[in-house]
Amino acid sequence: MLAVAVLLGVVAGAPANANPADPPGSLSYGGWQRTYQVHAPVGGAPVALVLNLHGAGMSSGEQAALTDYNAVADQYGFVVAYPDGIDLSWADGRGASIPDQQGIDDVGFLAALIERLSAEYGIAPGRVFVTGMSAGAFMANRLACDRADLISAIAPVAGTLGVGVPCAPSRPVSVLQIHGTADPVVPYTGGGMVGRGGPSEILSAPAVAALWAAVDGCPGPLAAQAPGPGEIQRSVAAGCAGGTEVALVSIDGGGHTWPAGRFALAAAVVGPTSQAINASQASAQFFAARV
């Protein structure tokens, strides 16, 4: 069932881009009426735009509630947008989801949304960032691989990249990857997984971080920093091309959750939610350092 998007009739040869007559919170793209929520800070011009992508089976509103990202957006002066994926999922390149199977162009949709919101809120180039949970994290990685011209940094949480998904960004992208080592849904060590859309083969969290370090031209591999609080281990590759940085935050024993988030599913299903790091604050700080 296509839960959050309504198929529209499209005239042959008509452009598949945004319609200026779209109502608020709606964007026509590729023959679909796509929806999103947006929150802007009160007082003063926003300094950056963050896309926050929901996981499979979730909605934009649930992602906003899970991450409480409006609060950190207000703190840092960000506009934050929560797009809705078709069938509550994304075409992230793994081929498992309904959007992937139907050939939905989510890269194009999110790029069009970035361009619309950047124009509406006066966001300067180089100040667009993306985070996301689970399937939203897979989509964040894919979007950065394909449209690095629009995105300066990403912070995927509990998601990596499908095996065989190409990643040759047009310019370096800073990456903060957060992943629990005991994630029962998206294995930290990669390999086979079965999500809402079916089975897929994925890269491990360290392998994705290493991939980004390679494509960003980092001078060396990620190196472990001094132990963080409790179960947190942070590895970093700094001094990369264009001043970028790649960081992997591994949460020892962490589950398939948003650290310090308001996760609704039982720990028996998704594993424990770490309180040793706040993924919303950590990603916002990472983004703010690049404004």
Structure tokens at 215: 């494509």
What's the longest Cα–Cα distance across the chain?
Answer: 58
d(CA 61, CA 3): 14
Alpha-carbon separation of residue 49 from 22, 92, 138 (angstroms)? 20, 21, 19
Residues whose CB is less than 8 angstroms from the CB of residue 43 and which lie 6 or more positions away in sequence, other chains included:
none
> Residue 14: what pLDDT?
26
**pLDDT at position 3:** 32
Predicted pLDDT of residue 11:
25
pLDDT given for residue 20 in this prediction: 61
CATH number of the 21-288 domain: 3.40.50.1820
* C-alpha 89: how far from chain center: 12
Residue 197's pLDDT is 80
Mean pLDDT by 10 residues, the chain (291 residues): 29 38 89 97 93 97 97 97 97 95 97 98 97 98 98 98 97 98 97 91 98 98 84 96 98 96 77 94 98 96
Domain residue ranges in the chain: 21-288
Residues 129, 48: Cα–Cα separation, whole Å: 8
